[in-house]
C-alpha cells in the first residue's frame, strides 16, 4: 500500500490557494512577476498531466490599494467602501496579469467570484458546481476569489483559507494545497516559542490540534492566520480532501509535494458524511 505522501501522485482534482503576501514584493507591495510566473507554470504543468486544477488567489484589495495609492488615512471615513472599491480595481488587474501568464503557457483560465450565498443558497451552489464541472470538461483552470466588491460582513466567507476549503468541498477535490508564509503547523507559535515542534502529519484533526492555531499572520497583509487554516483543514478533510499547508517561499514546492516528497503539514482526509458545509460556515461567523 502507498503511504500518504506517495499517494499525492494519484490526486486528480487539486485546489491551490495563494495569499496576498506570497504574491507581492515585501518592500513595495507590488506584484512579484517571477513568483506569479512560477505559480502559473506549476499549475499549467499539473493541468498538462490531465489533472483538474483550481487556483484560489487573494490580492484584489492589496493590488487595488496600490493602483490608486490608498494611504491609511483614506480608510478612516468609510473603510468598507474604500476596500470594496479597491477590490473592484485590483481584481480586474490581478486577472489581467494572470490571463497574460496563463496564455503564455497555452492555458485558458476563467474567473469565479463567490460569496457566502454561493454556499448557503442551494440554487447558487448547484449553479456554481455546474460551472466548475463545465470548466473542467473544457480543460480550463478556474481562478477563484471572494466577490469582495459586494460581500459585506453578512454575506462574506471572510478569508481565502476558508474560501479555498469551501471550493475543495463543493467540487469534490481530493487535495487542497494552502501556500503560506510558514512551513506548516507547529505545536506552538514558532516566532514566540523556540521549543515549538513541527507537525508533519495530522491523521485525525481533534481539539488538541485546533488549540495550536493562533489567529496571527506574520505578514500584515491578507487575513488568514493558523486558526483559519485549521478551520479550512476541518472543512477539507471532512469533505474527503487531503490538505497540505506549505511554505510559498519557493513555489516549486507544488511539484515537489505532488511527487510525494515530504514538505509542509499534511492533514489526512477523513470524510464525514454528516458534515454540513453551510452550517459550519454559519458557525464560524457566530464565533
Ligand atoms: N479576498 C481578499 C483579496 O483578494 C483577500 C482575502 C484573504 O487574503 O484571505 O484581497
One digit per residue, the tens of pLDDT, for the chain of length 287 reads: 569 999 999 999 999 999 999 999 999 999 999 999 999 999 999 999 999 999 999 999 999 999 999 999 999 989 999 999 999 999 999 999 999 999 999 999 999 999 999 999 999 999 999 999 999 999 999 999 999 999 877 778 989 999 999 999 999 999 999 999 889 998 888 878 888 899 999 999 988 888 777 544 454 444 557 889 999 999 999 999 999 999 999 999 999 999 999 999 999 999 999 999 999 999 988 87
Atom from ligand 1 closest to the CA of residue 145: 1
Residue 99 lies in a domain: yes
Residue 1 lies in a domain: no
Distance 190 CA to ligand 1 centre (A): 24
Residue 2 lies in a domain: no
Smallest CA separation from ligand 1 atom 2, residue: 58
- 3-state SS class at 277: helix
Residue 17 lies in a domain: yes
Q: End-to-end CA distance of the chain: give it in Å, rounded.
A: 41
CA angle 58, 109, 265 (to 5 degrees): 50
Ligand 1, pocket residues at CB < 6 Å: 19-20, 58-62, 145-146, 148, 159-160, 222-224
Distance 19 CA to ligand 1 centre (A): 7
Q: Are 183 and 229 in contact (CB under 8 A)?
A: no
Q: What is the spatial distance between Cα 229 and Cα 182, in angstroms, rounded to a whole number?
A: 11
- CA 52 to chain CA centroid, nearest Å: 16
What total of structural domains would you count in the chain? Answer: 1
Range of the domain at 167: 9-286
pTM for this model (two decimals):
0.94
The C-alpha cell at 76 is 478612516
What CATH number is attached to the domain comprising 201?
A: 3.40.1160.10
Q: What is the spatial distance between Cα 127 and Cα 208, in angstroms, rounded to a whole number?
A: 37
Number of Cβ atoms within 10 Å of the Cβ of 188: 14
Q: What is the spatial distance between Cα 67 and Cα 22, in angstroms, rounded to a whole number?
A: 18
Amino acid at each position: 500500500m502507498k503511504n500518504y505522501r506517495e499517494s499525492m501522485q494519484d490526486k486528480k482534482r487539486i485546489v491551490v490557494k495563494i495569499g496576498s503576501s506570497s504574491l507581492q514584493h515585501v518592500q513595495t507591495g507590488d506584484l512579484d512577476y517571477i513568483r506569479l510566473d512560477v505559480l502559473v507554470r506549476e499549475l499549467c504543468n499539473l493541468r498538462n498531466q490531465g489533472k483538474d486544477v483550481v487556483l484560489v488567489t487573494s490580492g484584489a484589495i492589496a493590488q487595488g490599494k496600490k493602483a490608486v495609492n490608498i494611504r491609511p488615512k483614506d480608510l478612516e471615513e468609510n473603510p468598507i467602501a474604500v476596500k470594496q472599491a479597491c477590490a473592484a480595481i485590483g481584481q480586474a488587474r490581478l486577472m489581467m496579469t494572470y490571463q497574460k501568464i496563463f496564455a503564455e503557457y497555452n492555458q485558458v483560465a476563467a474567473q469565479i467570484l463567490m460569496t457566502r450565498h454561493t454556499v448557503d443558497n442551494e440554487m447558487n451552489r448547484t449553479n456554481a458546481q455546474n460551472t466548475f464541472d463545465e470548466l473542467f470538461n473544457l480543460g480550463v483552470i478556474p481562478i477563484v476569489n471572494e466577490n469582495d466588491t459586494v460581500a459585506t460582513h453578512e454575506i462574506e466567507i471572510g478569508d481565502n483559507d476558508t474560501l479555498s476549503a469551501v471550493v475543495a468541498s463543493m467540487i469534490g477535490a481530493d487535495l487542497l494545497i494552502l501556500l503560506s508564509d510558514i512551513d506548516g503547523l507547529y505545536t506552538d507559535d514558532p516566532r514566540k516559542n523556540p521549543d515549538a515542534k513541527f507537525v508533519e502529519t495530522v491523521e485525525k484533526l481533534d481539539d488538541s490540534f485546533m488549540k495550536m492555531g493562533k489567529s496571527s499572520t506574520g505578514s500584515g497583509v491578507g487575513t488568514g492566520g493558523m486558526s483559519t487554516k485549521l478551520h479550512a483543514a476541518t472543512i477539507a478533510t471532512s469533505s474527503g480532501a487531503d490538505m497540505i499547508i506549505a511554505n510559498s517561499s519557493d513555489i516549486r514546492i507544488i511539484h515537489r509535494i505532488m511527487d510525494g516528497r515530504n514538505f509542509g503539514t499534511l492533514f489526512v482526509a477523513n470524510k464525514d458524511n454528516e458534515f454540513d458545509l453551510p452550517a459550519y460556515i454559519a458557525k464560524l461567523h457566530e464565533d
